Amino acid sequence: MSGSVGIVMMVHNALDRATQVARHWAESGCPVVIHVDSQVGRDAYKEFVGGLSDLPDLKFCKRHRCEWGTWSLVQASQTGSELMLETYPDVRHVYLASGSCLPLRPVQELVDYLAERPRTDFIESATTDDVPWAIGGLDAERFTLRFPFSWKRHRQLFDGYVRLQRRVRYKRKIPMGVVPHLGSQWWCLTRRTLSSILEDQQRETFDNYFKRVWIPDESYYQTLVRLFSTSIESRSLTLSKFDYQGKPHTFYDDHLQLLRRSDCFVARKIWPHADRLYQAFLTDEDGAMKKAEPNPGKIDRIFAKAVERRIRGRAGLYMQSRYPVEDRENGATPAPYSVFQGFSYLFEDFVPWLSKSTGSTVHGHLFAPKRAEFVGGVRIYSGCVPDSAPMRDANPKAFLTNLIWNTRGEQQCFQFSPRDLQDLNWFIAKDPNASITVITGAWVVPLFHSNLSFIEIRKEAARLQKIESDHLNILRSPWAKARVRIMTMAEFIEAPMEPLQTIIDTIGPRNNLRTLSEAPKMVDLTGFGKFLQNLKNQGMHPHLMGDFPSGDDIAQTIAKPRRPYLVRK
């Protein structure tokens, strides 16, 4: 007596592997009917037949010329199935497989599994509304348009003809009683269902209809099974994966563990030279998997992740494989970072203080004119980023994104000022990962302390004020996506603790809200009000600092009532 599960195998190429798999099925007790694509040459076919001639329960059916996406594939499976049902009366389930399918578990387990479910048809079958995976926007239209041109060979004609039919609102009539369903073309049907489909009185009508449906091998059985089956389990027993373009995924040697974990009965498609896979699953009984319910979910998750990554990419990574156009980056930078403007001029020890209170990496002025002031004064920072200003300035965006990519997992902070390279002002302002805190006008403090002549100071102050003003306009523009906080120097000095506390709360370690125990040491500002007044008297109006009284005593200002923190010019 021959087995109860018959394998109909569709072979197109890689005949040596097909031989191996067919032999495996047959020797495990399953009758096999093979359809060989008539495009396979005569000599190769003869050799293939000869190689399997010693197996009694293995037949070859009439050959058709197969082309992807056409009726010929359904025709081939019909011919094969008919021969199977006719020749092997004991067969209860027919399994449609291809030459590049590989059984992952001992065949006996599949036989037992099906014997326990004698009336169940395993075929993925969903209505067109329910399938997300139809490629090229053609799902329902597969059934209502005509497709006389080959998608592979005459793509333009194919597309053009589809457009034309849409424009003239052409629609084919679907035969009575047929509700189009789609699904994987690899199924396993009971004798009863399969013979009902093949022996139905209306078969000619159905066949004539499906001959002109696009990719009928994904819809012919999937639709008709709904008319005849009593128990459909809408899933394929064959594991097959598709990439984001809808092309079948090929499994290689290194997928061995992944396939083992899937617990599926059969997988496709397998790279013909994947010796290790064929070795592991066909010859090595111990290597085959334990009994378990097939669990393609595990493998699905891995692939879904891959597909998502394929579509969205690694945020903030610029590399040879991806060069995102600005604003289409899926994240301009890989991780949050903070920019501080003005603080290092007001506090002598702001950098060490910030690093101590927040535990993050605090650089000096990364965009300083002479060199990038990395934390600790190192010349080369993580990822071998050098401090060379010419290299940085040749591509400042690459400099910043590299730095943040290299230090993923660490919060990066750096100082910024109108004295630094301003090329990235828009880029940073538009980046939601950036948080920018500005004490406007603080850049004047080094001038206040300097020994420059007053004419030089006046000139430099005017220059810096213009630069900062432009930067503030960017930060306040509606396109700015960064977290921005702007306060004038006067406001800040009035109540420095509150903004400092906010900084620590936002970038410090989570779940560990600290209260500020130690404030950084502010520089001496005695005489600052007078200095500003002098600038004013010279005709240069320093408006970004806010309102300082012209007297000597800065402490006076602290007594003043609090103003709203965002002061516009």
Partner 1 sequence: MQDLWTAYKMRLKRRRLLFRALRKRRQLTPITDHTNRISGDAILAFSTVRNEIIRLPHFLDHYRKLGVQHFLMVDNNSDDGTAEYLAAQPDVSLWHTDHSYKMSRFGVDWLAWLQIKYGHGHWCLTVDADEILVYPHHDTRPLAQLTQWLDQAGKQSFGTMMLDMYPKGPLDAQPYSAGQNPFETLRWFDADNYHSQMQEGLQNLWIQGGVRERVFFGDRPERAPTLNKTPLVKWNKRYAYVSSTHSLLPRHLNQVFDTDGAGKTTGVLLHSKFLHVVVDKSVEEKQRQEHFANSSLYDAYYDSLAQSPDLWDETSCEYTDWRQLQTLGLMSGGGWR
CB proximity list for 186: less than 8 A, separation 6 or greater: 96, 97, 98, 101, 236, 237, 238, 240, 266, 268
Nearest residue to 265 via CA among 188, 192, 193: 188
Choosing from 53, 156, 245, 453, the residue that interacts with partner 1 (CB under 8 A) is 245
The region of 57-65, 322-330, 409-417, 502-510 touching partner 1 under the rule CB under 8 A is 322-330
The region of 52-60, 305-313, 435-443, 513-521 touching partner 1 under the rule CB under 8 A is 305-313
DSSP annotation string for 121-155: EE---EEGGG-S--GGG-SGGGGTS---S-TTT-H
* One-letter identity of residue 308: E
Contact between 328 and partner 1 (CB under 8 A)? yes
Give the x/- contact pattern for partner 1 in 193-212, rule: CB under 8 A.
--------------------
Contact between 40 and partner 1 (CB under 8 A)? no
Q: Which is nearer to partner 1, 404 or 545 (CB)?
A: 404
Contact between 394 and partner 1 (CB under 8 A)? yes
DSSP-assigned beta bridge partners for residue 399: none
To the nearest whole angstrom, how small is the minimum distance from the Cβ of residue 567 to partner 1?
38
Q: b/e string for 42-59 if b means 16 or more Cβ within 10 A?
A: eeebeebeebbeeeebbb
Contact between 318 and partner 1 (CB under 8 A)? yes
What H or E segment, with its residue span, contains residue 462? helix 454-475
Q: What burial class does residue 501 get, using C-beta atoms within 10 Å of its C-beta: 0-12 exposed, 13-18 middle, 19+ buried?
A: middle
Contact between 168 and partner 1 (CB under 8 A)? no
Q: Which is nearer to partner 1, 23 or 249 (CB)?
A: 249
Choosing from 405, 443, 531, 548, the residue that interacts with partner 1 (CB under 8 A) is 405
Would strands 434-440 and 232-233 be described as parallel, antiparallel, or unpaired? unpaired
321 DSSP 8-state letter: S
The region of 4-12, 199-207, 382-390, 538-546 touching partner 1 under the rule CB under 8 A is 382-390
Would strands 5-11 and 102-103 be described as parallel, antiparallel, or unpaired? unpaired
The answer to whether the peptide bond before residue 397 is cis (omega within 30 degrees of 0) is no
To the nearest whole angstrom, how small is the minimum distance from the Cβ of residue 290 to partner 1?
25
- C-alpha dist (Å) from residue 203 to 121, 152, 207, 224, 458: 20, 28, 6, 10, 94
Nearest residue to 28 via CA among 325, 266, 191: 266
What H or E segment, with its residue span, contains residue 102? strand 102-103
Contact between 279 and partner 1 (CB under 8 A)? no
# residues contacting partner 1 (CB under 8 A)? 47
Choosing from 154, 312, 356, 463, the residue that interacts with partner 1 (CB under 8 A) is 312
The region of 6-14, 129-137, 178-186, 380-388 touching partner 1 under the rule CB under 8 A is 380-388
To the nearest whole angstrom, how small is the minimum distance from the Cβ of residue 252 to partner 1?
5
Contact between 383 and partner 1 (CB under 8 A)? yes
Q: Which is nearer to partner 1, 228 or 271 (CB)?
A: 271
The region of 58-66, 246-254, 410-418, 547-555 touching partner 1 under the rule CB under 8 A is 246-254
Yes or no: say if 283 and 256 are a contact pair by the CB < 8 Å rule: no
Q: Which is nearer to partner 1, 303 or 565 (CB)?
A: 303
3-state secondary structure of 140: helix
Choosing from 119, 301, 309, 560, the residue that interacts with partner 1 (CB under 8 A) is 309
Contact between 150 and partner 1 (CB under 8 A)? no
Contact between 335 and partner 1 (CB under 8 A)? no
What H or E segment, with its residue span, contains residue 361? strand 361-365
Q: Which is nearer to partner 1, 330 or 556 (CB)?
A: 330
Question: Is the dihedral angle over the CA atoms 295, 299, 303, 308 positive or is it negative?
Answer: positive
Contact between 325 and partner 1 (CB under 8 A)? yes
Yes or no: say if 407 and 382 are a contact pair by the CB < 8 Å rule: yes
Give the x/- contact pattern for partner 1 in 205-244, rule: CB under 8 A.
--------------------------------------xx
Tokens of residue 403, six digits: 């730095």
Binding site for partner 1 (CB under 8 A): 243-245, 247, 249-250, 252-254, 271, 273, 303, 306, 309-314, 317-325, 328, 330, 380-386, 388, 390-391, 394-395, 398-399, 402, 405-406
